[in-house]
Structure 1
Amino acid sequence: MGQHWFLIWGIICGLCVSAELERFQQPSKGDGSLSFLVIGDWGRRGAFNQSQVAFQMGKIGEKLDIDFVVSTGDNFYDNGLSGPHDPAFEESFTNIYTADSLQKRWGDAEAQLSSLLRKIDSRWLCLRSFIVDAEVAEIIFVDTTPFVNSYFLDPEDHTYDWRGVNPRKHYITSLLKGVECALRESSAKWKIVIGHHAIKSIGHHGDTPELATHLLPILKANGVDFYMNGHDHCLEHISDTESPIQFLTSGAGSKAWRGDVERRNREGLKFFYDGQGFMSVELTQSDAEIVFYDVYGKILHTWNAGKQLVDHSSM
């Protein structure tokens, strides 16, 4: 929601001309592990249980010694930020996520980008699309909003800032090439892509067909392990039936309980919760653990995956 900016430039990547996504380094812990929280759709000045979710995030963040926090977008309800001096930034972010364990970098999948915001709160890292190189994992944040046709054809009462996006077709093509090149060249043990909109969901908004058509084939072809998103105000886990990709929705940072869930019997559905909460991710070279928590910190769903370690000494 709200305003969007993005800096983009072209380079030669492999054999394709594409948008190089800006990279940020995030070192793993001394043992090579990485842990972070994922939260979305949260910015309501503490209302609708936002403060309670933030409190539990602080407790889990301390327990896991998290390295950073991922935000899956829709951060400042109802209409984003009016500008870098909008008090909603501090009222919905700085003054809410106050726990010591949450004083880490926050990467956002749907950006309110201004250098002034980072001066107000140094945790804030928001671009349209970018990469976090975290050694054991490569995490690619993808600007999914321009993919959605209805935002252009029937925006209703929403106002979108398309500076840097038009011409839309060129922007999407360039972005997809940038994502494809980054994934193809990545040697990270875990590949994670984060967007605001769901590729697969049984929640209020459901699937985003434009992402299923244009982005999903790239994820499948390049060994992506997790696609994480918000948009639907719920917690959700769907396993892809045609690839190892896990679709993980964490968009329950504040207002939830929509009550209009569809297709509960969907193939691949592992978990769905129509209420507030958040998700944690723990990664090592050999294992991943995904955990969903409710507003009281209760564990609702846990999922584990393994990676085969390569013994280079025998090669």
Structure 2
Amino acid sequence: MKRNIITSAFLVLIFLSLSCAAQKESKTTDASLTVTSKTFSRAFNFIIISDWGWNGEKFQQVVADQMAKIADSVNTKFIISCGDNFQRSGVASTQDPLWALNFENVYRASSLQADWYPVLGNHDYKGSTQAQIDYSKISRRWHLSDHYYTFAKKVNDSISARFIFLDTPPLIAEYRNRPDEYPDAKNQDPDKEIKWLNDVLANAKEQMILVFGHHPVYSASKTHGDTKEMIEYVKPLLEKYHAQFYFCGHDHDFQHLHEKGGKVDYIVTGTGGEPRPSSTNEKSVFSKSEPGFSVISLKGNTIRVCFIDVKGNVIYDFSRSYK
């Protein structure tokens, strides 16, 4: 009898431990949840958009209009672009008319005059990547200081977040080996960038580590899918140094992926202009093809990721707390 009581007590403790562990992550796909000022109150909020550069066509303008409303509601600190800022062929110079047609005139709302922190995508590499960097000297809100860069922000008095922005096209042989189509890719040193990433991650003291790039590490999409070089070179560093999230675009859908036993959550949010069919695989937690963008909310020790559609609905809501 005594042995049975001890065994039962032990099983209860295991159950409670598992229950507590499960509370470190939560998610919902309740599309009836809409964003209001209370939804993300008293938090450090920012927006991510990717693959948006369609000159105001397709879904770009309607996504921008809804993004303006949400940016105002959540008091966004800034906006991050995960690349393909100028679809098809990038820009030729800082005076290219596409700056007005594709960016300034589309994201013209006052709430979207916040700072923008972009990365470069493969379509940006078809034009002048230096022009996108140099535009930072002209525009008050466009901040692409270099091909890859990092900064830290205080979330509150006791918590800080490290933001790391990668230049992924030069890491991928497909682009380096096609100089006629991607002329700037061959001029970049992928080994130097990976060493830089290792050094930044190794020296990061912030509690939250968020990494951004254009190409996915993992993706279930049939359009592009996993990126071999990102799995080989970037993923081991993300895992080694305990980055919580990697955000990207390239595939034009919403995805949340997590590798069994892995430490990193992988987010694809490439729906800023032209969504494409989505798919799932063994790493998929969520996948949907909808035009929209993401709101990221940092509060306490919790990182919250919300996918927002063009009607302002939260179609996916995931929270992760770090220890």
- For Structure 1 versus Structure 2, the TM-score category normalised by the shorter chain is 0.7 to 0.9
Q: TM-score, normalised by structure 2?
A: 0.78
Correspondence for 1:95 among 86, 94, 105: 105
Q: Which residue of 2 aligns with 1:199?
A: 217
Q: Which residue of 2 aligns with 1:159?
A: 182
- Measured after TM superposition, the shift of residue 254 of structure 1 is 0.4
Q: Which runs of 5+ in 1 are unaligned?
A: 1-30, 166-170, 309-315
Sort the Cα spacing of 1:180 and 1:85 in 2 relative to 1 into closer, same or farther, 3 A.
same
* Pair 1:60-2:48 in alignment: no
Report the structure number with the largest CA radius of gyration: 2
Correspondence for 2:286 among 261, 271, 275: 271
Q: Is the 8 A contact 1:282 1:290 kept in 2?
A: yes
Q: Alpha carbon RMSD of aligned pairs, Å?
A: 1.9
Deviations for 1:44-97, whole angstroms, at most 9, x for unmatched residues?
Answer: 121111111011111111111111000000011220001111110111111111
- Measured after TM superposition, the shift of residue 120 of structure 1 is 4.1
Give the Cα–Cα distance (whole angstroms) in 1 for the partners of residues 243 and 202 of structure 2.
10
Determine helix, strand or coil for the equivalent of 2:48.
strand
| Matched ranges for 1:41-60 at <5 A | 41-60=51-70
Q: Which residue of 1 aligns with 2:45?
A: 35
Give the Cα–Cα distance (whole angstroms) in 2 for the partners of residues 285 and 132 of structure 1.
20
Give the Cα–Cα distance (whole angstroms) in 2 for the partners of residues 228 and 216 of structure 1.
12
Give the Cα–Cα distance (whole angstroms) in 1 for the partners of residues 287 and 219 of structure 2.
9
* Pair 1:77-2:87 in alignment: yes
Q: Is the 8 A contact 2:177 2:186 kept in 1?
A: no
- Measured after TM superposition, the shift of residue 119 of structure 1 is 4.7
Give the Cα–Cα distance (whole angstroms) in 2 for the partners of residues 231 and 75 of structure 1.
11
Q: Which residue of 1 aligns with 2:192?
A: 174
Structure 2 counterpart of 1:188, which letter?
E
* Pair 1:137-2:155 in alignment: no
- Measured after TM superposition, the shift of residue 299 of structure 1 is 1.1
Give the Cα–Cα distance (whole angstroms) in 1 for the partners of residues 291 and 168 of structure 2.
23
Structure 1 counterpart of 2:212, which letter?
I
Correspondence for 1:233 among 252, 262, 266: 252
- Measured after TM superposition, the shift of residue 138 of structure 1 is 0.4
Give the Cα–Cα distance (whole angstroms) in 2 for the partners of residues 83 and 163 of structure 1.
19
Q: Is the 8 A contact 1:52 1:296 kept in 2?
A: no
Structure 1 counterpart of 2:165, which letter?
F
What number of residue pairs does the alignment pair up?
268
- Measured after TM superposition, the shift of residue 285 of structure 1 is 3.4
Q: Which runs of 5+ in 2 are unaligned?
A: 1-40, 155-159
Determine helix, strand or coil for the equivalent of 2:150.
strand
Determine helix, strand or coil for the equivalent of 1:175.
helix
Give the Cα–Cα distance (whole angstroms) in 2 for the partners of residues 298 and 137 of structure 1.
27
Give the Cα–Cα distance (whole angstroms) in 1 for the partners of residues 48 and 98 of structure 2.
21
- Measured after TM superposition, the shift of residue 202 of structure 1 is 1.1
- Measured after TM superposition, the shift of residue 132 of structure 1 is 2.2
Q: Which residue of 2 aligns with 1:25?
A: none
Determine helix, strand or coil for the equivalent of 1:270.
strand
Moved more, 108-117 or 223-232: 108-117
